[in-house]
Amino acid sequence: AKPDAVILITAGRPTFSFIQQFNKAGGKGVQFYTLSVMGTAANIKALGADGIGVVVAAVMPFPWSDANPLVKEYQTAMRAIGQNEFSFVSLESYVNAKLLAEALRRAGPDLTRQRLIAAAEGLGGLDVGGMRVGFSKTSRQAFKYVELVIIGGNGKFIR
């Protein structure tokens, strides 16, 4: 078969190996789509030239553009600690830290596992820099955000 696209529901080495071997076997020109976990500098490096044009489903806004209020806040916080290298991973970590801090605040001073869980479940609807959190007793998915980004020829993500 000569597919136009391949959707990979894998992460790490299996993804690199598949793309590299597929290309080596003459599959050049096929559009690959991958999960958000492939959105790291280490993964781009591991793919090398075979990564150019690979599409990654990012679950956070583009961390290199300050057009989004959450990203602008994140960039300001990163620069305040002397960090000027942005990434999807550090943005997601920043958001996770914000959510945990808010859940801890809401859980109160007598922290227990149950109080923390209840506080986290009560975060539904919380505005985090222009994005609303969707936690509840029935949903453990904070955001429903997905943006497709592409690995460019320079080893950086492009929109």
Residue 112 main-chain phi, psi, to 5 deg: -135, 165
Handedness of CA 138, 143, 148, 152 (dihedral sign): negative
Determine if the pTM surpasses 0.95.
Answer: no
Across the 159 residues of the chain, what is the mean pLDDT of every consecutive 10-residue run? Answer: 91 91 87 92 90 94 93 97 95 94 96 96 89 84 89 91
Question: Residue 137: CB partners within 8 Å, gap ≥ 6?
Answer: 121
Residues forming a β-bridge with 147: 58
Q: What confidence tens digit (pLDDT) does each residue in 72-98 have?
A: 999 999 999 999 999 999 999 999 999
Q: What would you report as the CA-atom Rg of the chain, rounded to the nearest whole angstrom?
A: 19
pLDDT of residue 151: 95
Contact 18, 27 (CB under 8 A): no
Q: Can you tell me whether residue 67 is helix, strand or coil?
A: coil
